[in-house]
Copies of this chain bind each other. A is one copy, B any other.
Amino acid sequence: LTCQVMSRIEKLVVVGVGLIGGSFALALREHGVVKHVVGVGRSRENLDHALGLGIIDEAFTDAARAVPEADLVLLAVPVGQLPAVMLQMDKRLDPATVVTDAGSTKRDVIRHARQHLPKHLTRFVPAHPVAGTEHSGAAAAKRDLYRGKRVVLTPLPENDPAAIRLVRELWRDCGASVDEMSADAHDAVFAAVSHLPHALAFALVNLIVDHPLRDSLFSFAASGFRDFTRIASSSPEMWRDICVSNYDALLTELGAYERELQRFRHLLEAQDSPGIEALFKRARDAREAWLKGRASATKTK
């Protein structure tokens, strides 16, 4: 009972009403835990769209006007816009308001919060919902985006446990399972499994754009290429910010990947069939084991 009272949100402010922020609002609305949703964004057109779709009830282009009396503020803008948004909010933020974010990198978000929301660190809970598609904007928001997905919290030492609890419960209300880890570990993990693959997919498309046989290549690219490069249709602005803000961890993974390619190159130059097969088999077996583990994890839920 206490929990239900606690997670009742009178006023939710979503800064950045795109796929991530919009889906959060829709999921909480459906779950009946939020009353009034205020959207903040740069584009009036997207805000009107979000109003029309019933994602938000009220819209502002200035975060300062939106945040007073909020129970929760979700920052769901590209990381590069966070400092400006935090500066806008800072003066008008109620001390009781819990603030969280949805950024794909965590060390930089924490850096920004320490700099721009220094008086609010007890109630700023950094979070990363591991979900998304290559589509963006309010029109892409879906109420079930987070169902069965994972959310990582990287709480600050200063955090009020009640603030952490609230954020955790709301993500659970969205259907996600919630883990905690350090911001350092988070950024290393996602550099490898998410940020690097995006950079690799963008690079493959650019190889084709730059290729002398460009038109033939695009003409014969098939479903393998389509799936491999799906993530290269993601927002360039968002991924620019993620890469730059996590550049040290990403450079480490990029180096490791370049070494994997070197290993393959040497085997290929030597036309070493058994060596190449062993390399491929190792990857195939590991991926199959991973898929199997995912499937059984979903079943036991």
Write the residues of chain A forming the contact surface with B, with a CB cutoff of 8 angstroms. Answer: 80, 130-132, 149-150, 152, 181, 185, 188-190, 192-194, 196-211, 213, 216-218, 220-222, 224-237, 239-241, 243-244, 247, 250-251, 253-254, 256-258, 260-261, 264-265, 268-269, 271, 273, 276-277, 279-284, 286-288, 290-291, 293
Contact = CB atoms under 8 A, between A and B. Distances in A.
Q: Which 7 A-B pairs have the closest CB atoms?
A: A236-B280, A205-B283, A240-B277, A236-B281, A203-B260, A202-B283, A193-B221
Nearest to A205: B283
A260 B199 CA distance: 10
Contacts of A231: 224, 227-228
Nearest to A261: B203
A256 to B, nearest CB: 5
Given A254-B268, A286-B205, A220 B189 contact: yes
Given A206-B260, A257-B204, A286-B205, A131 B247 contact: no
Contacts of A261: 199-200, 203, 254, 257-258
Contact of A197 (B209, B224, B265, B291): B224
Contact of A247 (B211, B260, B268, B283): B268
Contacts of A250: 268
A236 to B, nearest CB: 4
Given A204-B196, A204-B200, A287-B229, A220 B190 contact: yes
